[in-house]
Amino acid sequence: MTTEKGNISIHTENIFPIIKKFLYSDNEIFLRELVSNAVDAVQKIKRLAALGQYNGELGEPLVEVKLDEKAKTITISDNGLGMTAEEIKKYINQVAFSGASEFVEKFKDAKDANEIIGKFGLGFYSAFMVADLVEIQTLSYQEGATAAKWTCDGSTEFEIADGSRTSRGTDIILHINSESEEFLSEHKLQEILDKYAKFLPVPIKFGTKTTQEEDGQDEEGKTKYKSVEVDNIVNTTNPIWTKAPADLSDEDYLDFYKQLYPFSEEPLFWIHLNVDYPFNLTGVLYFPKVKDDFDMQRNKIKLFSRQVFITDEVKDIVPEFLMLLHGVIDSPDIPLNVSRSFLQADSNVKKINSYITKKVADKLAELFNKDRKAYEEKWSNIGLFVKYGMISEEKFYEKAKDFALLTNTQNENFTLEEYKEKIKAEQTDKNGSLVYLYTTDPDKQDGFIQAANKKGYDVLLMNSAIDGHFVSSLEQKLEKTLLKRVDASVTNQLIEKDELHESVLSEEQSAQVKSIFEKAIVKPGFSVEVVGLSPDDSPVTITMDEFMRRMKDMAKMGG
């Protein structure tokens, strides 16, 4: 073949700056794209062999990343299907043309066609973000194919000539530009591979590493070891989310969690996601033990597309209230490299969002129904998610109202329905509304709690960070129900049982005491109640109007 020069046909001459600016904010992703392409190429040849369209030797599937600091090159090699010169022109030169989507189209009825990464176009050209010259050396699997070489300096001109590869597959050789020399570092490349390639489905080799191997025994019969150089394979090719839940043990899930978050405590439980219609999504989400510093625990979910790491910004895909969960989500149906606003409007993303919400609700319902005791033990950790979810997502509230728990000061747990039944006889006001009493600080409000308990009223614990909002939201959602803090001027509004009314003070004495106290503490919003049920009671409680107090608390928080 003679050398051929030509022009890449693209609609705008300025495609490279556009790629640089808009598609990839992070230039390290060139490696992700090129390694993904190499993985694709290997998957494709396996596919062709499985379909009987390739009968040659497959060999061990392998992608290799090589660094040559002296020559200032990074090479990504694969033993995939390779390309003919014609294919290079078609697939590489026609920027907007995605070979992968054509391939998927062609084999779409074949099982597993989905394994082919990379419907995301333009990937190859990300090479020019870090290279001022890109070379392709490739040999196609097709019978009689000859090796081809393609070079391009990032302009729209390219050159195709005979290549030097003697075995099937492709090398992409990047001549790193002067602004990108940071990538000419083994450490840096290892770091990027760890980030993006850790779970790719084909082994990725990056240099070698030294390990210890058994080497017979010494005179005392102890095992001897020797240092050996072995391939440094950066990835695990079949991470657990690609497997069937039935084939996995608790230990597998816990091990994987450790691998993702080496410094975290064991999670409480997990959910294996697996759906293929109307969108494709797999993954494992873990419920961590929630700590006080829960801002640190947010944003830990990793998003993959066919085992290629994409981002840990999953804000628009995972409902806000589940951002505290950990784990991985893998979906080829989430649009990549596009703007946030597009993502929010994407209908797949919306469906994924509600699917995850539903799965999480179903899992919680299952835990609740299967073993209530164990569920109650976990409640202090999961209560925060559940309450937050109930506040922020109507659909979640509808499911969670059956397994959300209210805890009282005696540490007993009730579902919303159970609680209503428990208190409806005692805690009704003159209008027939149920009155839930709660405490935000059981120590400080102890006197009030005791007084309420003496009257036969139950007091709920609402002392976590989310409870202020949870209380307001329950009040909105539950019919004819008021929530009043135990020190609010409300207990006297409740219809009391007659036998509890036996005050040691006469009515006249009560009125006197009341007026003395009122004069002493005249402040809007406060009220005085003379109880005096028995000689050992505190005879007077001074309470504050619930509305006034909430306003005050809000002012405090704001200031």
Which spans of this chain sit near Mg ion (rule: CB under 5 A)?
37, 118, 123
* Position among 31, 83, 184, 361 found at the interface with ligand ADP (CB under 6 A): 83
Binding-site size, ligand ADP (CB under 6 A): 21
Sign, CA dihedral 451-452-455-456, equals negative
- For residue 10, the minimal CB distance to ligand ADP (Å) is 12
* x/- letters, 347..366, toward ligand ADP (CB under 6 A): --------------------
Looking at the Cβ atoms of 103 and 368, the one nearer to Mg ion is 103
Looking at the Cβ atoms of 79 and 305, the one nearer to Mg ion is 305
**Per-residue b or e along 403-424, where b marks 16 or more CB atoms closer than 10 Å to that residue's CB:** bbbbbbbeeebbbbeebbeebe
- For residue 29, the minimal CB distance to Mg ion (Å) is 11
Looking at the Cβ atoms of 20 and 243, the one nearer to Mg ion is 20
Helix (H/G/I), strand (E/B), else coil: 30? helix
Work out whether 80 is an interface residue with ligand ADP (CB under 6 A).
Answer: yes
Helix (H/G/I), strand (E/B), else coil: 83? coil
- For residue 118, the minimal CB distance to Mg ion (Å) is 4
Enter the tokens of residue 1: 């073949």
Looking at the Cβ atoms of 97 and 225, the one nearer to Mg ion is 97
Report the partner that residue 319 touches, choosing among Mg ion, ligand ADP, none (CB closer than 5 to 8 A by kind).
none
Phi (first) and psi of residue 428, to 5 degrees: -125, 140
Among 439, 425, 540, 553, residue whose Cα is nearest residue 492:
540
* Position among 123, 319, 532, 539 found at the interface with ligand ADP (CB under 6 A): 123
The DSSP string of 257-292 is HHHH-TTSPPPSEEEEEEE-SSS-EEEEEEEPPP-S
Q: Which amino acid is at 81?
A: L
Looking at the Cβ atoms of 78 and 393, the one nearer to ligand ADP is 78
Stretch that binds ligand ADP, among 13-21, 112-120, 215-223, 232-240 (CB under 6 A): 112-120
Looking at the Cβ atoms of 39 and 462, the one nearer to ligand ADP is 39
Q: Which amino acid is at 354?
A: S
Instruction: Specify the pairing of strand 269-275 against strand 281-287.
Output: antiparallel
Please state, in angstroms and rounded to a whole number, the distance separating the CA atoms of residues 291 and 223: 45
Report the partner that residue 91 touches, choosing among ligand ADP, Mg ion, none (CB closer than 5 to 8 A by kind).
ligand ADP
Cis peptide bond upstream of 278, omega within 30:
yes
Please state, in angstroms and rounded to a whole number, the distance separating the CA atoms of residues 328 and 326: 7
* Position among 24, 30, 54, 91 found at the interface with ligand ADP (CB under 6 A): 91
* Position among 74, 92, 322, 449 found at the interface with ligand ADP (CB under 6 A): 92
- For residue 138, the minimal CB distance to ligand ADP (Å) is 7
Contact call for residues 170 and 41 (beta carbons, < 8 A) = yes
Report the partner that residue 408 touches, choosing among ligand ADP, Mg ion, none (CB closer than 5 to 8 A by kind).
none
CB atoms within 10 A of CB 70: 6
* Position among 85, 100, 173, 325 found at the interface with ligand ADP (CB under 6 A): 100
Please state, in angstroms and rounded to a whole number, the distance separating the CA atoms of residues 325 and 389: 12
Please state, in angstroms and rounded to a whole number, the distance separating the CA atoms of residues 117 and 279: 16
Report the partner that residue 383 touches, choosing among Mg ion, ligand ADP, none (CB closer than 5 to 8 A by kind).
none
Q: Helices 347-370 and 372-392 sit at what angle, rounded to 10 degrees?
A: 150
Stretch that binds ligand ADP, among 12-20, 80-88, 300-308, 371-379 (CB under 6 A): 80-88
Stretch that binds ligand ADP, among 67-75, 98-106, 227-235, 286-294 (CB under 6 A): 98-106
Looking at the Cβ atoms of 305 and 439, the one nearer to ligand ADP is 305
Work out whether 335 is an interface residue with ligand ADP (CB under 6 A).
Answer: no
Interaction with ligand ADP in 29-68: which residues (CB under 6 A)? 33, 37-38, 41
- Which ranges constitute the DSSP H helices of 203-346? 250-260, 340-345
Looking at the Cβ atoms of 160 and 530, the one nearer to ligand ADP is 160
Q: Measure Cα distances from 436 to 380, 414, 429, 452 in Å.
A: 20, 13, 10, 11
Beta partners for 74? 67, 174
Interaction with ligand ADP in 167-206: which residues (CB under 6 A)? 170
Report the partner that residue 170 touches, choosing among ligand ADP, Mg ion, none (CB closer than 5 to 8 A by kind).
ligand ADP
Please state, in angstroms and rounded to a whole number, the distance separating the CA atoms of residues 423 and 437: 10
Please state, in angstroms and rounded to a whole number, the distance separating the CA atoms of residues 25 and 400: 39
Stretch that binds ligand ADP, among 52-60, 77-85, 376-384, 472-480 (CB under 6 A): 77-85
- For residue 46, the minimal CB distance to Mg ion (Å) is 17
Among 434, 414, 415, residue whose Cα is nearest residue 425:
434
Which residue is nearest to Mg ion, using beta carbons?
Answer: 123
* Position among 10, 58, 122, 133 found at the interface with ligand ADP (CB under 6 A): 122
Looking at the Cβ atoms of 37 and 541, the one nearer to Mg ion is 37
* Position among 79, 98, 440, 489 found at the interface with ligand ADP (CB under 6 A): 98
Where does this chain bind ligand ADP (CB under 6 A)?
33, 37-38, 41, 78, 80-81, 83, 91-92, 98-100, 118-124, 170
